[in-house]
Amino acid sequence: MIGVNAPELSETVSVDGAIQRLISEHWWRRCLRKVFAREIEAKAILENRVNLFKSIYVSKDGLSIHREQKKRNRHLLEKMVAVNENGEEFSLAELADTSVSNPVNRRNELMCRIAGFEKYSIEQDHIALFWTITCPSRMHASLSKSGQPNPKYDGTTPVQAHKYLCGLWACIRAKFDRMGIRPYGFRVVEPQHDGTPHWHLLVFLPHRYQDEATAIVRDYSLMEDGNESGADKYRFKVETIDRSKGSAAGYIAKYISKNIDGHQVESDLYGNDAKDSSERVTAWASIWNIRQFQQIGGPPVSVWRELRRVKKISGDQIKMQAAWIAAFTSDWCAFIHAMGGIECGRENQAVNISKEWCDDENQYGDPLGWIVNGVESSGIYLCTRLHEWKLTDTSQRKGQVATDREGAPLGEGPRREQIGRPWSPVNNYTVKEWSSSVRPPSN
């Protein structure tokens, strides 16, 4: 009734663990904060307080909630310190700043992969297309020209509209599979002025599939309410990237930037300051839990990121050398080739993620489950997690009361005494001749 579901039982959520969550003040606070933010935002949309003329993309209250959440998260990261077995320590804020959590790193990695896709497409003589898919008018709360309430609006929230687009894309992908069409590229999700999401897709594919693939996307985009006024003009758009005028990566760069931090973009589509707009877009995506960017096709970025953690590889790991060099030198195109090409299935790729089962318990008494510990290729294992890390709270060193990101004392709630458990259970492993992707038998 309040929008919070009981934990679902799984390999890492036991009956006892579910009970511990349900009696945990921390668990309830986290869930209710999420529900509260969404309810506030949904109410603002219903009251037509989210639009170009009042508060674009996200309500003023929603933006304030997001800013406070970021402050709490940053405070927690700054006071938590990770210490390894060599005595080296870093604050979680420092570690986060070196990861893709940092907007600059996130943008750079996305552009690196997009540029790599484009380079591969040029080698293969593939065409670049830019598709835009928009939701039916009934999902839009506000009229774009006047900001007045849309009489057709049926109360659809942004997350519900996004799920509609996800379902649409699932049907399109299934049709592509049946037709033997294998596009690759990136999807960008961004809000329209009233918070309703729409999709931009930069895809590469052979010239012979251009018309057929575009027709499939258009047909599915207009399947619901396709006869309504303006549907042909606004619901689906396609642009063919003319490489004589500029690169595909350059074309999508502004969409990437204005949805992350507004870097080198002066204003958004509506003439607002790009940096302010990017903060609002980020708040919108956070409140509705919408994934802004997603890769289409190609090798998994998880393998790429794991290989980039390794400074060098030994002679018996030669089978993954090409992929490691490509990842370490930030060459996504070479990485595609090293992994087996665009159409290579996961089971046939040169390098795969390796995981091991970890029985260490979380704060609710459940096992941590499957933990990434490296990569493997044809039975040869390469460890990418070389250290064992433990978390400590700097406020404990100063005799202060340790609190979580919500401001609650860490001593409250179930099993909070395990704050010092390893952040990563991986030690310095030697090369294994077996696949750790299978759960090891218990001793």
* pLDDT tens track for 36-87: 999 999 999 999 999 999 999 999 999 999 999 999 999 999 999 999 888 8
User: ∠ at Cα 206 (202, 207), nearest 5°?
Assistant: 95
Burial class (CB in 10 A: 0-12, 13-18, 19+), 88: exposed
Q: Quote the pLDDT of residue 420.
A: 38
Q: Quote the pLDDT of residue 399.
A: 54
Give the amino acid at 292: Q
Burial class (CB in 10 A: 0-12, 13-18, 19+), 396: middle
Instruction: Look at the block and give the residue holding tokens 């065409």.
Output: 127
Tell me: pLDDT of 408 over 60.
no
Euclidean distance between CA atoms 183 and 202, whole angstroms = 9
Two tokens, residue 407 = 């401001």
Average pLDDT rounded to a whole number, residues 20-29: 94
State the catalytic residues: 251, 255
Concatenated DSSP letters of 199-238:
EEEEEEEEGGGHHHHHHHHHHHHTTTTTTSTTHHHHTEEE
Tell me: pLDDT of 34 over 70.
yes
Write the DSSP symbol of residue 6.
P
Band (pLDDT 50/70/90 cuts) for residue 418 is: very low
pLDDT digits (tens, 9 = 90+) for 174-231: 999 999 999 999 999 999 999 999 999 999 999 999 999 999 999 999 999 999 998 9
Write the DSSP symbol of residue 340.
T
Euclidean distance between CA atoms 56 and 274, whole angstroms = 12
User: ∠ at Cα 218 (214, 221), nearest 5°?
Assistant: 140
Euclidean distance between CA atoms 275 and 298, whole angstroms = 31
Contact between 258 and 268 (Cβ < 8 Å): yes
Tell me: pLDDT of 423 over 80.
no
Band (pLDDT 50/70/90 cuts) for residue 25 is: very high
Using DSSP, state whether 42 is helix, strand or coil.
helix
Q: Quote the pLDDT of residue 400.
A: 52
Q: Quote the pLDDT of residue 407.
A: 55
pLDDT digits (tens, 9 = 90+) for 73-119: 999 999 999 998 888 999 999 989 999 989 999 999 999 999 999 99
